[in-house]
Structure 1
Amino acid sequence: MFSSLRRRCFSVLRSAHRPIRKSVPVALYNVDEFSPPKALIVHLPSQPDSPNGVRQLPEFLYDRPVASINYRWATERPRAASQDDDHLDDSVDWPVPIHDVAFAYRWIADALKPPAIGRGGIYVYGSHLGAGLAMSLSLTESHPHKRFAVRGVAAYNGVYNWTMFLPGHKVRGAKSPRDALRALRRENGNLRLDALGDRLVALFQEPHNLFDPFASPSLFFHNPGLAIPESFYASPALASLVSAMKGQHDVSEEEETLGASRRSHLAFPPRASTLKIPETLLLHDAPSKSPLHHHHHHPDDHRHDCRTKRDSTTKSRSGVVDTRHTFMAQAAEMASFMRRSIGMVELKERARWDEDAHKMAREPERRVRVVEVGQEGEELGLNDAGQQAVLDWLGSLNIR
């Protein structure tokens, strides 16, 4: 059984208009404040909890030192604020969630760091909404030289690129204005992604927030190649088609304009920084059966087809590429950019002084792992196979 403590970390950061943050609730489990742990798990839950609620930890974390951050995020609108709800300062809109996580992390890293010259590691685990936040935190706080910093991150069913919800994104298949109309009618490959698609306005308020790298951490690595649309559900291509239907201009000209924006790679971590791509485990549910295969997904399907021995891909056994927006597609894109960074930035730099650098050809795949844990279940939590995959990953890092 685990023991718990409840703490609030306070921020003095103020903006010109209103406080960005007054306090962030942090629940500590199995942590002796007078004997800091060498390895601490920072837990970011799947969604915000009530201010005084105690969220159940995943079972695999029961016996480990854990700091769970109860970040705020408006997931529904309209929401009438309760008069006795002191958890709501003025707003819980984006970017409040990432501010909450950043403030809490700074408190955790300072309050629980090893004494004197001791070193320790922070390993971040997040699921669903917490998974994207976990990835942003880890990518920007993984400093190997620091005595106590992020060393690894495990994320389950994360959205790492929210622009994938937009009709103009390549995953949605909108290569032309007419494709944009079809894309609006297509469902995502996971039921929970459909639910998030319905919440875009509540979560982000304005489309430009989807392009914030702290919301969409894959955008640390690349330019999305998309114009910021005026609404969440109408891409520039669709707007072009609507205008053409009204006789305002020629669609063919607009198609050429839309094709002018190309996705390009960015250098991350920046050359001058001390950041390093952390040890990473990306877990995701399997996509629902693709319409291409004439099957139907049943939400009560609890088969746990855990594929821990090989990475997931977006290509089915029949060779048909699934171009839907899925948790698999999110994880695959995030992993590809992180691995590319390790190979093109870190290992290329290392080759200049290490004659044995060529022996690390498999380091990108070892450092960034992807595991499919089975079909979606009714619960948000990670299933038994997924929890075992995290335990095996921690064990491979000698985190017992």
Structure 2
Amino acid sequence: MTISPWRGTASAVLVYLPRGPHLPGGNGLDSTILVQLLAQKLPCHVVQINYRLGNLHMYPAPVHDVLKGYDWIKEHLLPKRSISRVGRSETVGRVAVCGELIGGGLAAMLALTECRVGQPGIVAAALSSPLVDWVDFQHVLSKPAESDAMIAPLSDLRKSLFRKPEHYFDPFASPMLFLRSAGHTVPPAPPDVPTNDMDYLISLNRQDSVMIPKPSLEEESTPLKRTATRYPTPALGLRLPAFHLNAGQKSPILYGQAEEFTRRLRQAHVRQAGQVDFGRKVLTEDEIDEMNESDKQEVAQREMEAREKVELDVSHDSGLWDDSVAGKARVAKVGQWLRKVLQ
């Protein structure tokens, strides 16, 4: 964990999650420079969580690291209440999270789960081309017309970062699955893949002579209809934060994930804002047509508010926070947005 401290009095913290290993996408902006750029815009601590991810630390290890780091930040960097009461959080303050690619997916996971009503939690999330659906790659690879230089590397990366398919079907690894069904059945794990950490470490020691097979494309999953979920339900006690997403049309798969995630988040905000039945589900055009004028205006107002709470900036290039002039400008814009939300 790396902390860029704010020397004044601050009741907010920004959590930055790096983009992750072995990913294409141009010259990524050095995380130290990126944190410095954000710290210049924000009157608060900026903390980088250096989560583990690789052959020895496959999913769900990065999820555990991020959640553990987030708990540490709440305990040590947010101000304490002067008077404690039973049943009330001892700390106060506001937390924002940002990340790119794999870090963007982890940031989305944190934002969707650590936003409890009445407790200090995530109030804003800034994501750049977030990987929010690891299940999706094989579905896209099956389309011959699809051409995206990121697809094959990401699909290969998935095989190296997830020991079993059920791990990338977990919403904490693929946060899109909090908002809709996966659209695939979970394929069985290959029979020779180790099922626990100790077996996996043993297999690494003998990897020179024993090769662990990888599942073929046909074995991976069967396409199903994707359906929206009612997340978060009132019983969870969550209040969704504001989101700002960057995406570039140069990579159709990452842009497609960002666009769908934005749409699903807006639908979730509309449902969450609803006090009557039609505010708790996604309405079809026919259902809206059958409403009276007052209800139509209410739905339109909620949808407008949801668009303000979930923004999507689309560019014609990669859309990443890289070392180009456009990439640094995107980071500066994100810093300004975070400052506004955290005030």
Give me the TM-score of the superposition, normalised by structure 2: 0.72
Distance 2:33 2:100 in 1: 11
Q: Deviations over 1:1-21 (max 9, x none)?
A: xxxxxxxxxxxxxxxxxxxxx
Match of 1:156 in 2: 128
Match of 1:279 in 2: 242
Distance 2:11 2:277 in 1: 28
Q: What percentage of aligned pairs have identical amino acids?
A: 26
**1:365 has 2:307 as partner:** yes
**Residues 221 and 268 of structure 1 are in contact (CA less than 8 Å); yes or no, is this contact kept in structure 2?**
yes
> Is the alpha carbon distance of 1:346 and 1:97 closer, same or farther for their aligned partners in structure 2, counting shifts above 3 Å?
same
Please tell me the residue identity of whatever aligns with 1:111. H
**1:375 has 2:317 as partner:** yes
**1:110 has 2:87 as partner:** no
Shift of 1:372: 1.6
Shift of 1:55: 4.4
Distance 2:9 2:147 in 1: 44
Distance 2:319 2:105 in 1: 20
Return the match for 1:199 from 134, 152, 157: 157
Instruction: Structure 1 unaligned segments of length 5 or more: list them.
Output: 1-25, 78-90, 173-179, 240-257, 289-324
Return the match for 2:217 from 234, 240, 243: 234
Return the match for 2:225 from 262, 276, 295: 262
Distance 2:150 2:226 in 1: 27
Within 5 A, what are the aligned runs for 1:1-400?
26-32=1-7, 37-47=10-20, 55-58=31-34, 59-63=36-40, 64=42, 65-74=45-54, 91-116=56-81, 119-146=92-119, 148-166=120-138, 169=139, 171-172=140-141, 180=142, 183=143, 188-189=147-148, 191-230=149-188, 233-235=216-218, 261-287=224-250, 325-348=252-275, 359-376=301-318, 380=322, 383-397=327-341, 399=343
**Residues 144 and 151 of structure 1 are in contact (CA less than 8 Å); yes or no, is this contact kept in structure 2?**
no
Distance 1:186 1:95 in 2: 33
Shift of 1:98: 0.2
SS of the aligned residue for 2:332 comes to: helix
> Is the alpha carbon distance of 1:232 and 1:377 closer, same or farther for their aligned partners in structure 2, counting shifts above 3 Å?
farther
Shift of 1:38: 1.7
**Residues 129 and 320 of structure 2 are in contact (CA less than 8 Å); yes or no, is this contact kept in structure 1?**
no
CA RMSD of aligned residues (A): 3.2
> Is the alpha carbon distance of 1:193 and 1:141 closer, same or farther for their aligned partners in structure 2, counting shifts above 3 Å?
same
Q: Deviations over 1:176-225 (max 9, x none)?
A: xxxx4xx3x56553x34442222121111222222110111010111122
Give me the TM-score of the superposition, normalised by structure 1: 0.62
> Is the alpha carbon distance of 1:36 and 1:188 closer, same or farther for their aligned partners in structure 2, counting shifts above 3 Å?
farther
Shift of 1:380: 4.7
Shift of 1:282: 1.1
Distance 2:218 2:4 in 1: 45
Match of 1:244 in 2: none
Please tell me the residue identity of whatever aligns with 1:94. Y
**Residues 98 and 126 of structure 2 are in contact (CA less than 8 Å); yes or no, is this contact kept in structure 1?**
yes
Shift of 1:390: 0.8
Shift of 1:344: 2.3
Please tell me the residue identity of whatever aligns with 1:102. L
> Is the alpha carbon distance of 1:68 and 1:350 closer, same or farther for their aligned partners in structure 2, counting shifts above 3 Å?
farther
Q: Which has the higher helix share?
A: 2
Shift of 1:133: 0.4
- Pairs aligned (count): 280
Please tell me the residue identity of whatever aligns with 2:229. L
Quick one: higher RCO (CA 8 Å, sep 6+), 1 or 2?
2
Please tell me the residue identity of whatever aligns with 1:164. D
Q: Deviations over 1:153-190 (max 9, x none)?
A: 00111111111101xx3x55xxxxxxx4xx3x56553x
Shift of 1:96: 0.3
Distance 2:331 2:96 in 1: 15
Distance 2:331 2:320 in 1: 16
**Residues 187 and 194 of structure 1 are in contact (CA less than 8 Å); yes or no, is this contact kept in structure 2?**
no
Distance 2:305 2:79 in 1: 29
SS of the aligned residue for 2:258 comes to: helix
Shift of 1:129: 1.1
Distance 1:328 1:378 in 2: 11
Q: Deviations over 1:334-384 (max 9, x none)?
A: 1111111111233345999xx996644411111111112441389856802
> Is the alpha carbon distance of 1:334 and 1:378 closer, same or farther for their aligned partners in structure 2, counting shifts above 3 Å?
closer
Please tell me the residue identity of whatever aligns with 1:278. P
| Greater alpha carbon shift after TM alignment, 330-339 vs 203-212 | 203-212
